[in-house]
Amino acid sequence: VRTTWDGGETASGKTQLLRRLAAEACRSDGCDIVPLTVEALDVVEVCPDNLEQGDFLIPYLESGRGGLRGSLPFFAQAFYARRLLLLVDGVDIPLPQDRQRLLHGLGRLAQVGV
């Protein structure tokens, strides 16, 4: 699992880059990567207790936030098969402590994996 951080300025194209990465993942021939874009603030709000350990993705999917209601089996299968490309938008959330907790949780998820 690899992580990348793009901490660019407001309106510098970070969201557009995430959309492009998701689209390219879908278009790749022979590639079975499943892109999932989530909003950072949603993750922080839905999974405050699971964030630090990096164990937040499945509870987030179970919550149905971001229009994902009913898609848990599909994304969970991709996650456990290590085929999920998790794209987190809005990491420049207002509260620095939430940002740090989210980044720590993402790092932990990338480090531990499944």
Phi then psi dihedrals of residue 36, to 5 deg: -140, 120
Polymer length in residues for the chain: 114
* Amino acid (one-letter) located at 100: Q
- Residue 49: what pLDDT? 84
Helices and strands per DSSP (H, E), number in the chain: 5, 2
Per residue in 2-32, pLDDT (tens digit) is 556 666 777 778 888 888 888 888 887 677 8
- Residue 1: what pLDDT? 47
* Amino acid (one-letter) located at 60: Y
Q: Return the C-alpha torsion angle 20, 3, 50, 81, nearest 10.
A: 80
Q: What is the pLDDT along the chain (114 residues), one digit of tens a residue?
A: 455 666 677 777 888 888 888 888 888 767 788 899 999 999 999 888 888 778 888 888 888 887 777 788 898 898 888 888 899 998 888 788 888 888 888 888 887 765
